[in-house]
A and B are shown apart, each in its own frame.
Chain A
Amino acid sequence: MASSQARIWVWCEDREHEAFARRLLKERFGLDARHLTFKIAPKGQGAASAWVLRKYQEEVLPTARRARHQQLLGFLVLVDGDNVGWKRRIEQFEQAGGNEPRSERIAICAPTWSIETWVLWLCGEEVTESVSLKDRLPPDKFRGKLDDAIAKWDPPRDKEADQVPSLSAGRVELQRLPLN
């Protein structure tokens, strides 16, 4: 369980990201709505990942710098890996931060292809990161699967690191947050 004073600010692409992060942080780490602040890309034109990247440069990094002494404030960036892949996506963000090392309290999770891949995998289905699975889990069915996915967050399924390496990497990233 997280410290009752912990606060997490989340930057993400859409409502599916928000729903996943909110449910995960609440159910698995004990943070409720008052401990979470979400910044979600507005509905519009252009890639939502580009919006998150700009926000990372303009808000996440400066805020993390200013709040370096606030040990219970964490920053979670949630951005789909898409066809770029999770490794390359995280590199993009780190490069956008210049040469400055990333604050230890900034976690970047890049579900690949998208958050739907993570949810389907957690629910016990076979998935691949090399194609989009959004058609298998449209928004109206996403919420229905979410409870099951979050309930099965721990322990990780066998072969997770091979089948969904972005999720394994995401678990490691989450350890940067003041959640324990």
Chain B
Amino acid sequence: MSRITRVAPPPLRRTASADTIALYWTLERSRLIQMLKRLHLDNFRCLTNFEIKPAPVSVLVGPNGVGKSALFDALLALQELATAGTTVDQSFHPLSRTRWDTRNVQRLELDAQEPGGPFFQYLLNISHEPARRRVFIERERLTADGNLLYEQAGGEVRLFGDEVSPTPRISFPFDSRRSFLPVLEPRADNQLITAFKRWLAGMTLFALRPAEFEWSSMSETEGVHFTGRNFVSWYRSVVQESPDVAERVRTSVQPAIPGLTNLRLTRMGLDSRMLSLECEVAGSRFTLYINELSDGQRCLLFLYTVLHALTREATLLIFDEPDNFVAEQEIQPWLSQVRDAMSQANRGTLMVISHHPEVIDYLAADQALSLSRPGGGPTRVSEVHFDREKGMSASQWIKMECADGQ
């Protein structure tokens, strides 16, 4: 299954046509809705009637198997369905239903808003018919300030446009195994839906597996795989678009890669490129290739590329244990810069799933959300309310709460 998060919007072609002007306004307006307010999931793995209201920056904590990664996977599945055009059975496999739940409908709700901007509410109901091995969209709906913009139900799509109207501007039959959102073209009269689509496309999720990073790249790709697998291909695209990113990444990772003087894409064939690192140690010059780096160094290269290339565009940036593989002293310098970039550049949402005390302690100053599964049942989430007068670190407090079985 392809799990590529699309991150870079297509470049604008500035002509004087009305459509172009409308598209420009779409892009401008899309920046108004970059805050995730609420996410509700029901009947997705261990997430039953699960609701989360993240602050602009939050850390998700909890023991193994409490649903942190299930939350991550649900958002990836939504993004695939609503922006990449996968079929619903690919993104929401029948086995993704909660095992002990006999209901055949999965439900996902998502609210997003920027203060003063439109309040978007998205609903997705997925129906499973095990007997017929059929999975389909029972209902998909998007509203802005309570006004219906888009609805897909019963194999029919209804588009209302930006103007408030009790009746759809257009309705037509559509394959109920797919969302119509990826197909919808931006137009002057659907700016709100387009803005929401861009918000979804700006969701960027990572659970890095540096051992799976490909060593070479045959072509540039705008999207980056959530594991970082196609890092070199994505990096090619990034530095093609913004050559300054290469120097910023080099400067950032230099302390972790002694002697690093330059990052280069070395030609290995007609189209193939390898990411090479030119180093100089004790007067001796040599080249390292990405496959020769440690897992931690590969992760740092990736994490700093995300910092310098993605934080301006990401609407919701989620890292599942970014601290894996990385030395403790490397975590806070990167994390503080990502946090700053996200909160300053576009006021997007940053969520980090972590077990690492360094990450927990640093981000608990914003918000710590604790996930648990009492009795092995559905996941419950609660904001951790620290008693600061006790003087404990957030990670110590959470460890104590876990020990108490709370």
A binds B: yes
Stretch at the interface among A47-55, A74-82, A120-128: A47-55
Any chain B CB within 8 A of the CB of A34?
Answer: yes
B136 to chain A, nearest CB (A): 42
Q: Bin chain A's interface residue count.
A: 20 to 34
Contacts of B368 in A (CB 8 A): 42-43
Give 1 or 0 for each of B34-45: 1 = CB within 8 Å of chain A CB.
Answer: 000000000000
- Complex CA distance for A51 and B365, rounded to whole angstroms: 12
Contacts of A55 in B (CB 8 A): 391
A14 and B389 contacting across the interface, CB-CB below 8 Å: no
Other-chain residue from B334, B385, B391 in contact with A50 (beta carbon distance below 8 A): B391
Any chain B CB within 8 A of the CB of A37?
Answer: yes
B252 to chain A, nearest CB (A): 9
B347 to chain A, nearest CB (A): 10
Give 1 or 0 for each of B136-149: 1 = CB within 8 Å of chain A CB.
Answer: 00000000000000
A34 and B366 contacting across the interface, CB-CB below 8 Å: no
Any chain A CB within 8 A of the CB of B336?
Answer: yes
B344 and A48 contacting across the interface, CB-CB below 8 Å: no
Identity of the chain A residue whose Cβ is nearest the Cβ of B336 in the assembled complex: A33
Any chain A CB within 8 A of the CB of B66?
Answer: no
Q: Bin chain B's interface residue count.
A: 20 to 34
Any chain B CB within 8 A of the CB of A64?
Answer: no
A37 to chain B, nearest CB (A): 6
Contacts of A68 in B (CB 8 A): none
A38 and B391 contacting across the interface, CB-CB below 8 Å: no
Any chain A CB within 8 A of the CB of B286?
Answer: no
B188 to chain A, nearest CB (A): 33
A42 and B397 contacting across the interface, CB-CB below 8 Å: yes
Chain B residues packing against A (C-beta within 8 Å): 255, 329, 332-334, 336-337, 344, 361-362, 364-368, 384-391, 393-394, 397
Question: Other than the known A45-B387, A45-B389, A55-B391, what 12 A-B pairs have Cβ atoms closer than 8 Å?
Answer: A22-B336, A33-B334, A39-B361, A42-B394, A43-B365, A44-B385, A44-B388, A45-B385, A47-B389, A48-B388, A50-B389, A50-B391
